[in-house]
Amino acid sequence: MKIIVSGAGGLIGSHLLPSLEAAGHEVKRLVRPPTEGGPGEIPWNPDAGDLDSSVLDGADAVINLNGRNIGEGRWRPAVKDALRSSRLNATTTITAAINRCDSPPRTLINASAVGYYGDRGDEILDESSPVGEGFLAELSRDWEAAANGVASARTRVVLLRLGMVVARDGALGRMLTPFKLGVGGPIGSGRQFWPWVAIDDVVGIVHFILEKEDVAGPLNLVSPQEIRCAEFARTLGRVLGRPAVLPMPAFAARLALGEMAEALLLASARVRPQALEATGYTFQTPDLDEAIRAAL
């Protein structure tokens, strides 16, 4: 297939692109200025809405992974603006270009997040559950709406509502130091559900979607194994051979990280991959212990 990818240098892109290329696909990367576009690269400027639609004509798929990392620092107003614009500008630029194509890509795979559901406690959530409240929920809702701006009769849209991706170069890597020092543990009550997915499954699901053309709409990319924060901490501690008994009180997390702590660490989302399992996809790494060992 001919596949165009934005956000290729991020966590998912850095794992996905080598796998796509190894499978024999022709992969082109969207790159920003001042890069002019070398071999395998297509220049674009999403902040200016600039993307030549001709480069998408005849493509089999566009995979949009563009978006600033939500876990990089406190969510000051300028950071929240950047988180929002990095996603919406890229997505609207891509969908506008697709709509101008004479022969549009057959598929748009667009990243999203389980943040769509907000903080929902022990409520069981699947792809039919309504959007939640808060910054991440609103951002995910608007991000998905932008992706759905393509003419659906011409291009199918698949929305990847990603849980925490278990990979060494992701959130897991940032957890290692305190746990290795023996000061790791649950955050807040530890009872909040942390939806997660192994990086190998993220890559596998994208391959699966590319081949299975009847799959469309939102998919929860989360393991079927439900894990609470305290159990996540115990599992990581066990894998590392370190104790995981020193909790971080909720107030300390809020003091250190502000609103980001509330949305990413203290919120609970009991998300299930109902639509994904209905497609027939079989998870490669559904067990957290195995996923952490594979990542490390």
Where do the structural domains in the chain lie, given as residue ranges? Answer: 2-295
Nearest to 42 by CA among 27, 31, 26: 31
Please give the structure tokens belonging to residue 81: 């603006």
Signed CA dihedral, 291, 228, 273, 2: sign only: negative
Chain mean position to CA 206? 12
Cα 125–Cα 163–Cα 195 angle in degrees, nearest 5: 55
CA distances from 244 to 30, 71, 191, 229, 293 (A): 42, 22, 15, 11, 17
Q: 121: left (phi > 0), else alpha (psi -120 to 50), else beta?
A: left
CB of 171 closer than 8 Å to CB of 165? yes
Dist CA 229 CA 121 (whole Å): 12
pLDDT on residue 34: 78
Give every residue of the chain whose pLDDT is below 70, as ranges. Answer: none
Model pLDDT, residue 257:
92
Q: What is the pLDDT of residue 151?
A: 78
Give the pTM.
0.96
pLDDT of residue 38: 78
**In the CATH scheme, what is the code of domain 2-295?**
3.40.50.720
Cα(245)–Cα(185) distance, rounded to whole angstroms? 5
Cα separation, 109 vs 63, in Å, equals 5
